[in-house]
Structure 1
Amino acid sequence: MSTCVDHVPRVLVLGSSGFIGSRVVASLAGSGGAHVVALSRKPVARLRNNNATIATADISVPGSLIPFLADTDVVVHAASYVGSEPRLAYEINELGTGNVVEQCRQAGVARLIHVSTCSVYGSGPHRGILESEAGYHPASVASASRAIAEQLILGYGGEVVRPNLVFGAGDRWFVPGVLKLMKVAGGWPGDGSALLSLIGVEALGRLLSGLALAPGQPGQAFHAAYPEPVRVSFLLQNVARIFGAEYPKFLRDDERAGSALRAAGFSGHQIDVVTKDHWYSSEGLWRISGREPESFNSALGEFSSAYQVPGSPIGHKPVERFV
């Protein structure tokens, strides 16, 4: 009598040492439902999990992924550039993603999942829109190149996941950027009523892991956020509590604050992202990934602990994250 052995999928995670990619690796490996190949441009520390192995390659180099794609069932592409240098945005986000798509095609890998951003939509207000309801209107070099990357992925029949604002241990951009906005403006631009889509990086890793292990959704895009948006005033209460800062006064349309923020390097788009409604329907990804929906309230402990550790990244250059 023959014994049927369930196939354990092989999942290659690109950008596995990054803020999001490392969480995808941890969730997939910890689930026991996949063998993970954790690939990054630079060598990473040894993984303490028998379900994962480490590999080194650069997506910007044509052909560099081919040795790792044999027998791969799913590729999760979490490697991207979020800065303001046009050359790097082009080389990593556009050419790099093109290399990924072409090598998946050559190796016969049918399933390709790409981590993108809601910033490909540009400035809002955005209120509960579905993935199919907003076109591409990127307002920065990075988001423009990521929009092109998305189109390459979707054209291949891959899947795209778009988080909006992501918090958690290792965040060098979102919460540090919020703090810098408060400091530079001498308060908070706007009136604090804006609603934002947020997600913790650990929850995002679980969502991406669940999607990778679920049946494929060819050519589909998904928002990745807690289903309930978070009001800016509540976000600021928690930021002030964590850092022992004074709760900011709301400056509304004070032109002096706007001038100070522009002088400090904040673009109008970057200010809009956290002062106008930017929230997105995200129920689809929670359902397909098989994860129970979470909320910002349930993640307040994670939110606090992420920024209350030695070496917290406050003071790093923050503003390029809002792309």
Structure 2
Amino acid sequence: MAVLNGTVVLTGATGFIGSHALRALLDPAGWGDGDAPVPRIRALVRSVPKEPGPAEVEWVRGDLTDPDAVRGLCEGARAVVHVASYIGGDEALCRAVNVEGTRLVMEEAARAGAGRVVHLSTTAVYGAGPHRGIAVDEITAEPASAVSRSRLAGEAYARRAGAVVLRPGIVLGAGDRWVVPALRELVERVPAEWDGGRGLLTLVDAGDLGRLIAAVAVGRIAVPAGVQHAGHPQPVRIGDLLAELAAQGVLPPRPEADWPVPVCLERLRAAPGRASERQFMLAAEDHWYRADDLWTLTGLQPGPGPLSRLAETAGWYRGLLGVAGRE
């Protein structure tokens, strides 16, 4: 199948993952065909950037929760990429953005006859682990938070619209204001190896996730509608992730103590903070999902893995966390 030309609608283009998806869409070499034309992007955002950026990007100011802003958004689009979401604690906003906003975008994509539709979700819809080498929908989704419940509910509208639904695990990279800051807090509150650092996690670098999103939206190979895990095929030990972040000066040096999970949880409860026990268990316990299929379907190479990318983003993380760089 030829590369799809024409307009690509993108929501969330100024957010963490959306900004990486935008860069990937504008770089055909990254999604498998350097000779392909750069697509035109119609980006729905709440605030238009002060710097307009490439001429191929048309910024459309509007809110997902406003039907008038979404109406007509997908007119003439060859592909619709829905990345925008709300991940805060306001349950009403979760429903307004992640459920009703998704419904509006998907209904508009279907009405406009978009050739391909991509929807970003999360493996958090599966709920509490441990999860070891889980294939797509191998277990029943049992989301444990308002955010995850709303993401799963939004998936239903995407699947009804014939979308490729991508479920990444932990996403790392420039723009991440949640994962690594939470890990730093947890390391400070629980200064030990967590159960020997054995927990296996599905990770993906945000740039690689952007490449996958772009390939599904406009690549030569059409990925069948349905759910796909979007992560690096090789799981990463939490101990290795924390060690690499420490080596890059993002986290404190690795502790010598090694505590079993019950001891870690006792220490966590004794030192209250913003990060929850559930967040700790998501990192300390296996949350590994099989993610080989999407790379095969898109024809992309996964590369050496997200740990190898941390050297490129360590400076950004250090700046975010206010920690000094390495000598």
TM-score normalised over the length of structure 1: 0.88
Q: Does 1:120 align with 2:125?
A: yes
Which runs of no fewer than 5 residues in structure 1 stay unpaired?
Answer: 316-323
- Corresponding residue SS for 1:68: coil
Q: Does 1:165 align with 2:170?
A: yes
TM-score normalised over the length of structure 2: 0.87
Q: Which amino acid aligns with 1:153?
A: A
Cα deviation for residue 7 of structure 1 reads 6.1
2:78 equivalent in structure 1: 73
Cα deviation for residue 257 of structure 1 reads 1.4
Of 32-41 and 91-100, the range deviating more from structure 2: 32-41
Q: Does 1:282 align with 2:279?
A: no
Q: Which amino acid aligns with 2:18?
A: G
Correspondence list, 1:192-231, <5 A? 192-214=197-219, 215-231=221-237
Cα deviation for residue 21 of structure 1 reads 0.6
Correspondence list, 1:84-233, <5 A? 84-214=89-219, 215-233=221-239
2:243 equivalent in structure 1: 237
Which runs of no fewer than 5 residues in structure 2 stay unpaired?
Answer: 29-36, 323-327
1:116 and 1:7, CA in 2 relative to 1: closer, same or farther beyond 3 A? closer
Q: Which amino acid aligns with 2:9?
A: L
Q: Does 1:314 align with 2:321?
A: yes
- Corresponding residue SS for 2:228: strand
Cα deviation for residue 177 of structure 1 reads 0.9
Q: d(CA) in 2 for partners of 1:281 and 1:6?
A: 27
Q: d(CA) in 2 for partners of 1:6 and 1:134?
A: 35
Of 273-282 and 37-46, the range deviating more from structure 2: 37-46
Q: Which amino acid aligns with 1:304?
A: A
1:321 equivalent in structure 2: none
Q: Aligned residue pairs: how many?
A: 308
2:259 equivalent in structure 1: 251
Cα deviation for residue 258 of structure 1 reads 3.7
- Corresponding residue SS for 1:128: strand
2:73 touches 2:108 (CA, 8 Å); kept in 1?
no
1:69 touches 1:104 (CA, 8 Å); kept in 2?
yes
Cα deviation for residue 186 of structure 1 reads 2.9
Correspondence list, 1:13-52, <5 A? 13-31=10-28, 32-52=37-57
Cα deviation for residue 218 of structure 1 reads 4.7
Cα deviation for residue 280 of structure 1 reads 1.1
Cα deviation for residue 92 of structure 1 reads 0.7
2:4 touches 2:78 (CA, 8 Å); kept in 1?
no
Cα deviation for residue 111 of structure 1 reads 2.5
RMSD: 2.2
Q: d(CA) in 1 for partners of 2:103 and 2:163?
A: 13
Of 266-275 and 21-30, the range deviating more from structure 2: 266-275
